[in-house]
Structures are given as structure tokens and as C-alpha cells.
Amino acid sequence: MNDYTKLHFETKAIHVGQEPDPATGAVVTPIYQVSTFLLPDPSEPGEYVYSRVANPTVVALERAVAALEGGQHGLAFGSGMAATTAAMSLAHAGDHVLITDNVYGGNFRLLHQYLNRYDVTHDFIDMNDPAAIVAAMRPNTRLLWIETPTNPLLKVIDIAQAAEIGHRHGAWVGVDNTFASPYFQNPLALGADITMHSCTKYLGGHSDLVAGMLVVNDKLYEPLFEARRITGGILGPFDAWLMLRGVKTLAVRMEAHQRNAFAVARFLEGHPRVAQVLYPGLESHPQYALAARQMRGFSGMVTFEIKGGHEAARKFVQALRLVTSAVSLGGVESLVEIPHDLTHQVMQGTTIAISPAMIRLSIGLEHADDLIADLGQALAAA
């Protein structure tokens, strides 16, 4: 096995875990579409036994993403929610979880409708306020769960600060790094214990797979590996192979996503029909200075609030011709959604509900001029 630790990100994305196949010399990692493996000693497990536990294609992917995140171990799952659920399993009955107040709707459901059945309590707090984190900590707080940038308001949370507070109070600290990708942000280097990705998004990058990943160091690997082994949430080999293909181009795609997002954000910021633009790369963003310090770039997500409320938001989305109305994000095509109606609908009526006039854009790899023209005509029609 080669030592890739001193290589650049782009090189790691292409080579780590993806050495030529020793059996055939294949340059691209093969799809090991197999459920079970020969046991050289019938009384002892070999390196691979059963693909619910480990699979060579999946392991190649785990090594690659762990290297990109600067972690020792990757654990691939069938979805981002499966990965998050495994991480949340660190909280046992009677434990408490603190989570970012602007949170993905799936995580809201996980805590509010599922884990509460098992006596795991939670609080949503403003993690931009260190005093609020300290005040919300309890003796039984087991886990701080951070999204940064958040979905969909793109709040940027100080990972190092939150990790210091969490560790001081004896809690693990996990970070959902989906929006930034490992190209722009590495939470483990900032003190986090767990990095999570919904790999369906930027890591896969082509809207053709659903996957999740946890990256951890030695201390948490065994309990999280056991959680996956027991519950059976491992990613399948074909989706792992697709994701390996996506990871190879992550660096060049993220640069292009960011370039287009900057152009779109600046256009929207100057448009009279737009009330507010949220993009961490704009100096108007509330945490711009933190984002510039903590991240190496600002990624491809842009959120804005349209004047005219919910009806104007609906008319805007319906008028778009190039940008596709769909959930998810991080693919090569630009997507748009109204979070209040879709991904965050479950939070309506709560104190952390999303404005019905808020629109989330996942900026793809089309030409920026074409995207701006489409957004402009839709704003005029709204």
C-alpha cells in the first residue's frame, strides 16, 4: 500500500484505495458484486466474509473518502440518513443530543419522531452562540450534531469552538459536511469526532446514486462499525463503484460549482425582486469572516428570499426553464426547491420553521450566463 499522506487532494481522490486490482491489473476498481467469500480456514473469518460486513469495492471507497477528510476510517452506508442514524446510536436511552437549530428535515424527523421512542432527548439551539451551547449542555448530553453550512439557511458554525465546548462537557461532536464537501472543509482537523456526508450529493455528483459516509478516527471506529454490521446499513458495491467515479472529479466539480454560485449570488443580490441572499462567499453573509477562515471555499448552494411571499416563490419555480424543480442537490444539473413545502415541510408550525418565501438553489455546472438568464426571466414572471 502506497503512502499518500503528503499528496494533494486531487491526487488522493484518484489514487487512494484505488490501486490497480492485484488479481487482474484493472486500473479502475472492479465491482465486487458478490454476497459471500471463500474462507481459507473454515474456522476463521478471512479479510472478507459477507458483504453486509465488508466488500472490497466499498472498502476502496471508504479508504478514498477517509483520506480526503483526513481521517483514519470511512464507513459507507446506504444513505446519508442511515449514516446519521448510526452516528446518533452513540446516544443511548436516557442520553441527550444537541443539534443545530437550522437543520435538515430528515434529521428533525429522526430525533423528533424516532429516537424519542428510545428515550433519547434533544434540543435545537443556535450554535453560533457559544453561551447557548454551554447553557444547553446537560450531564447526559452525549452528542453535539452540527450542520455547517446549514440546510437551507447556510449558517456557518464555528466547528472548533463547538468541539471544544462539547469535549469539555464529555460529549462527542459530529459534523454534517455535505454542503461543503471534503474539498472545502475538513471537520476532523477542526476538532470534530465524526464527519458525515450524504454522498448522494457532491461526492457522488451525478444524481444517480444514494449513499452516506461517516469518517472517524480509531476511537469511534469499532462502535460505529458494529452499529452498521448489526443493523445492515452498508452501501452496495455498485453504488460504491459509481461513487468512486464521482470522487475522482470532486475537486474540479467543486471549483466549477463555486464559480457559478458566486455569479448567481451576486446577480440575485442586485435584483429588485430579491429580499435577501444567503451565500457564505458574499461579504453580506452573517458569518462571512468565519466561513473565510474555516473553509477553503464556499461551495455551490445559494438560498434567497423572494419578495411577495409563498405565492411569488411558487410562480418563480414554475417559470424556470433550465433549472429543474427537484429535491436533493450537488449534481451537475442546477436544481431548485422551496424547503418550506418539501425537505423541511415537517417543521412547519415549529419555532425553527423555514420561511415559505425562501428558495434553495443547488447551482450546477451549466454556463453561468445561461443560469442567470433563466433566473432573471423567472423573477420577472413571479
Task: Say whether pLDDT at 36 is over 70.
Answer: yes
Of 226, 248, 270, the residue that ends a domain is: 248
The set of cell numbers assigned to 178 is 455535505
The predicted-structure confidence for 175-227, as pLDDT tens digits, reads as follows 999 999 999 999 999 999 999 999 999 999 999 999 999 999 999 999 999 99
**pTM for the model:** 0.96
d(CA 374, CA 268): 12
* Same domain, yes or no: 123 and 157: yes
> Based on the domain organization, do 38 and 63 belong to the same domain?
yes
On whether both 86 and 186 belong to a single domain, the answer is: yes
pLDDT in tens, 290-319: 999 999 999 999 999 999 999 999 999 999
Q: 320 is in which domain, residue-wise?
A: 250-381
| pLDDT reported for residue 75 | 98
pLDDT reported for residue 190: 98
Query: Does some domain include residue 2?
Result: no
In the chain, how long is the greatest CA-to-CA distance?
72
pLDDT level of residue 4 (50, 70, 90 thresholds): confident
Q: Is the pLDDT of residue 1 over 60?
A: no
Q: Smallest Cα–Cα separation from 148: which of 42, 335, 299, 332?
A: 299
Q: Where are the beta strands (DSSP E) in the chain?
A: 73-77, 96-100, 121-125, 141-147, 172-176, 194-198, 212-216, 274-278, 301-306, 324-325, 335-337, 358-362
Q: Would you state the pLDDT for residue 99?
A: 97
Q: Are residues 215 and 226 in the same domain?
A: yes
Domain end: 222, 248, 274, which one? 248
Cell of 297: 471555499
Grid cell listed for 229: 454490521
Q: In the chain, what are the helix, strand and coil shares in percent, each to the nearest 5?
A: 40, 15, 45
Same domain, yes or no: 60 and 139: yes
Q: Residue 186 falls within a domain, yes or no?
A: yes
**Among 97, 23, 134, residue whose Cα is nearest residue 87:** 97
CA distances (Å), origin 268, targets 109, 260, 273, 279, 307: 32, 12, 9, 10, 12
Flag whether 307 is in a domain: yes
Q: How confident is the model at residue 46 (pLDDT cuts 50, 70, 90)?
A: confident
Q: Quick one: pLDDT band at residue 2, thresholds 50, 70, 90?
A: low
Give the pLDDT confidence of 54-66 residue by residue, as tens digits. Answer: 999 999 999 999 9
- Catalytic annotation, residues: 52, 104, 176, 201
Residue 195 contacts residue 175 (beta carbons within 8 Å): yes
**Phi–psi pair at 302, nearest 5 degrees:** -130, 130
What is the Cα 107 distance to its own chain's centre?
Answer: 12
Distance CA 125, CA 129 (A): 9
**DSSP H or E segment with residue 184:** helix 181-184
In a domain, 72, yes or no: yes
With CA atoms as reference, report the closest residue to 371 among 250, 254, 265, 298.
265
How many residues in total does the chain contain? 382
- Check: CB of residue 211 under 8 Å from CB of residue 81: no
Q: Same domain for 125 and 164?
A: yes
